[in-house]
Structure 1
């Protein structure tokens, strides 16, 4: 009886200790994170939409409802290639970014077919105030976000695309504009957790629902795809060690929430 009592007591203390460690760990993990989106408005963000001047939120494309940044096109007619981006006001260099996204609704009339269930988070982007009115894409790196098309075919998310840029992948400059990740396919209107770990102009990691799905290095200006830019901005071969973070609008309604960042500048060598 006495032995059983002590065994029960030790078991209880062990469980309490484990729970305490978990709580301490969770508390420590939360330290250092900054909310980029306050859940109320986008006053700390800039809008730049193709065919429009910086600061013009054409058609109320980027809006806040229910503590969510919603990207919508209900005030558009034809999409007319009005690709847009919502930029946080401060550039970053070494950081860990976390966010959640989901696709909703139908592709806007006139949007390119490749933008179906397609969006992205741009980073190491040029300052939107340096973009010309008729510049379609910012010179930047993109964490491309995709959803499955419901046809049973794989369609990974957390890929890399490179408007006006290049990256080093598997030891050499990537030949393609986009590199697929190893992620699962996520169908339907479900929330997916995305993360970026960016270490200046060295290592970059893409994480989806806790799994590292892609990594590469040496982001730099170069390549094509971006058009209508100021030639002084596009200095091919220049390494990108910092830049702006932006949410993308390209014809597919999409939601973003819980956008936060942790500064990793202490890892600079």
Structure 2
């Protein structure tokens, strides 16, 4: 594309591109840009993809498409949101928003809010509080994972800080989830990724130090 090497995900089939190895304590960076293709059952919905991290086998654990994982949502207008995937959980400072007629509870990231446990079910999503995406151009995503804590960063802005990453067993007993494979979702929309880089870290990179201060 424009003389650059890019990864094109058509979105026509629900699935994912997956790493072969697991990662722990890392900084993942990439650029993304939406294409024009959109397909059923999301032809009329916002373009959608996602970074799935701390992924656990088997493939197809969720909807026969994706591994059990934590999701850094990549969706037109919603990039930076969090979703639980197939029995995972996170603690996130947030506030509840009352919206008449809403099917599920709505929670928005609030760095000064109370900790809320998000897990599969009605409370499986936390929304970012600001849209940092620039429409129609390349956008930068940074995912930083250190121990059981992670940071969703969009165009250099913190979308949310997530803590105490866990996975639940069939008896609803939680165990720490700090590593796994990484997947990029194909979910009904054409999307391009480029400049994908990953490096090991033991603390938050200095360029993001202000996020915790």
TM-score, normalised via structure 2 length: 0.73
State the secondary structure of the residue aligned to 1:174. Answer: strand
Unpaired segments ≥5 residues, structure 1: 1-64, 74-78, 148-154, 224-230
What is the match of residue 154 of structure 2?
A: 208
CA–CA distance in structure 2, aligned partners of residues 236 and 144 of structure 1: 25
Query: Unaligned regions of 5+ residues in structure 2, if any?
Result: 94-114, 205-213
Distance change (3 Å), C-alpha of 1:138 and 1:94: same
Cα deviation, residue 177, structure 1: 1.4
1:83 correspondence with 2:14: yes
Contact 1:115 1:252 in 2 (8 A): no
Give the total of aligned pairs.
176
Counterpart-to-counterpart distance in 2, 1:181 and 1:87:
25
Distance 1:200 1:189, change over 3 A: same
**Aligned counterparts of 1:238 and 1:207: Cα–Cα separation in 2:** 25
Query: CA offsets, 1:196-217, max 9 Å, x none?
Result: 110122x211111111120111
**Structure 1 residue corresponding to 2:129, chosen from 182, 186, 194:** 182
Structure 1 residue corresponding to 2:72, chosen from 129, 134, 143? 143
Structure having the larger proportion of residues in helix: 1
SS of the counterpart of 2:68? coil
> What is aligned with 2:9?
71
1:105 pairs, out of 36, 45, 48, with 36
What does the per-residue CA deviation read over 1:89-126, in whole Å, with 9 as the maximum and x for residues that have no partner? Answer: 22111011111011111311x22368531111110001
Could you tell me how far apart the structure 2 residues matched to 1:107 and 1:178 are?
23
Q: Which whole-Å deviations, capped at 9, do the CAs of 1:133-178 have from their partners, x for residues lacking one?
A: 972331000100122xxxxxxx332111111211111223126211
- Aligned-pair RMSD on alpha carbons? 2.7
Q: Could you say if the C-alpha distance between residues 259 and 118 of structure 1 is closer, same or farther in structure 2, counting changes exceeding 3 Å? A: same
- The residue that corresponds to 2:106 in the other structure is none
Residue 167 to residue 114, structure 1, CA distance change in 2 (3 Å): farther
**Corresponding position of 2:211:** none
Q: Distance in 2 between matches of 1:99 and 1:260?
A: 6
| In 2, Cα distance between equivalents of 1:214 and 1:114 | 27
Equivalent position of 1:121 in the other structure: 51
Q: 1:131 to 1:88 in 2, by over 3 A?
A: closer
- Residues of 2 paired with 1:169 and 1:259: CA distance? 27
Bigger strand share: 2
